[in-house]
């Protein structure tokens, strides 16, 4: 197989151990004689998978018992609506730090009174807003912790005077999180915890059932709490891969070890961007994401963009093209991205610079 260095933003690189275990489960799942994609979700073998997956979430993030862990379909984009439907009674507050945060706010506005407390749209979302006030009469305050398109990240668990809700699609399990500071955390799995097809929700039970509006059965979190995420057929394949991915995270030492490695990878690439005369980072340095590193050609070298893209592709770099809305380059350094791949990209950038000195 051709050696590639996978920097795709999602679906993205997964641990080889998880892939290998999944291949075996596609041949014979848990001695059933059936592939995992054909097994009944009402079987005792599948119950064991669900129990183990929830237990891994609880252990890795130290999730208290007063929180439920849900595995749903529909992606994080469906959660934009579900959060507002289940939690917004009088007012909701949002921090707009990128396209996905803006889309979440749009869905909330369709449900009720949702306000933007601060936005970084004035500078193409290249920084995280500071010095804003969270309205204390809000039912919740919504943040997007990592912004994949623009390469910014909220890298701490903030104190919040109201229920804190976070879209952690692209940085969950990349660092320790104090779950107790949040009322609800959600995200798509396809960055750090599995393949596309399953969405995780971590919700404190006491925030549910407070709204007076009618909630459609499938959009009511209580439906899935009561049904143990199996009110309807769950995305069994994606959940199985998630389980194996979380086992891999645990085997390496958990989220603390992942965070140490992720910081090392990000520093390695950011240091080269700052050193290299041909490239420049696009995110404010204090807000740089350790998951998605965004950069462009330095002023005066813009005409080299296509040449560098082809140069990098020849050397096995995959997925470094920036999002279509911003251009440039983006290297996604999710948990399963090896440090060796980051070094390969750094070496590629150094080699390209030498050719143009």
The catalytic site residues sit at 100, 167, 191
Rounded to an integer, what is the distance from CA 129 to the centroid of its chain? 20
Q: Is 343 within 8 Å of 271 (Cβ atoms)?
A: no
The 3-state DSSP class for residue 70 equals strand
Neighbour-count burial for 265-288, b at 16+ CB within 10 Å, e otherwise: bbebbbebbeebebbebbbeeebb
Specify whether the CB–CB gap between 7 and 319 falls below 8 A: yes
Give the DSSP H/E element, type plus range, for residue 326.
none
Q: Taking the CA atoms of the chain, what radius of gyration do you get in angstroms?
A: 21
Q: How far apart are alpha carbons 264 and 326 in whole angstroms?
A: 26
User: Measured between alpha carbons, how far is 257 from 251 in angstroms, rounded to an integer?
Assistant: 10
Find, among 80, 61, 47, the residue nearest to 165 by Cα: 80
Could you tell me which residues are beta bridge partners of residue 280?
Answer: 296
Residue 49: CA atoms inside 13 Å, Cβ hemisphere, count?
Answer: 29
Whether 269 and 331 have beta carbons less than 8 Å apart is answered as yes
């Amino acid at each position: 197989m051709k050696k590639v260095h996978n920097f795709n933003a999602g679906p993205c690189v997964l641990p080889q151990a998880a892939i290998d275990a999944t291949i075996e489960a596609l041949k014979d799942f848990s001695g059933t004689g059936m592939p995992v994609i054909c097994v009944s979700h009402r079987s005792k073998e599948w119950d064991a998978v669900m129990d183990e997956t929830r237990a891994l979430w609880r252990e890795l993030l130290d999730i208290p018992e007063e929180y439920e862990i849900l595995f749903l379909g529909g992606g994080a984009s469906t959660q934009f609506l579900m959060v507002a439907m289940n939690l917004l009674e009088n007012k909701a507050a949002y921090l707009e730090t990128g396209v996905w945060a803006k889309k979440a706010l749009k869905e909330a506005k369709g449900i009720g009174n949702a306000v933007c407390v601060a936005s970084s749209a004035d500078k193409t979302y290249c920084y995280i807003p500071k010095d804003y006030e969270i309205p204390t009469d809000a039912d919740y305050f919504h943040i997007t912790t990592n912004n994949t398109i623009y390469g910014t990240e909220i890298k701490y668990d903030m104190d919040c005077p109201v229920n804190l809700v976070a879209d952690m699609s692209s940085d969950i399990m990349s660092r320790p999180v104090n779950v107790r500071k949040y009322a609800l955390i959600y995200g798509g799995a396809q960055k750090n915890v599995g393949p596309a097809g399953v969405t995780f929700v971590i919700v404190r039970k006491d925030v549910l059932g407070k709204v007076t509006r009618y909630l459609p059965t499938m959009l009511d979190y209580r439906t899935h709490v009561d049904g143990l995420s199996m009110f309807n057929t769950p995305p069994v394949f994606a959940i199985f891969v998630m389980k194996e991915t979380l086992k891999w995270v645990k085997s390496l030492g958990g989220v603390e070890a992942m965070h140490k490695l992720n910081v090392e990878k990000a520093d390695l690439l950011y240091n080269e961007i700052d050193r290299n005369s041909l490239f420049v980072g696009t995110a404010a340095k204090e807000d740089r994401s350790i998951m998605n590193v965004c950069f462009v050609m330095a002023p005066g070298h813009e005409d080299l963009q296509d040449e560098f893209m082809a140069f990098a592709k020849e050397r096995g770099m995959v997925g470094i093209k920036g999002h279509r809305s911003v251009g440039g380059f983006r290297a996604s350094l999710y948990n399963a991205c090896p440090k060796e791949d980051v070094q390969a990209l750094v070496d590629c950038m150094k080699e390209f610079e030498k050719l143009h000195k």
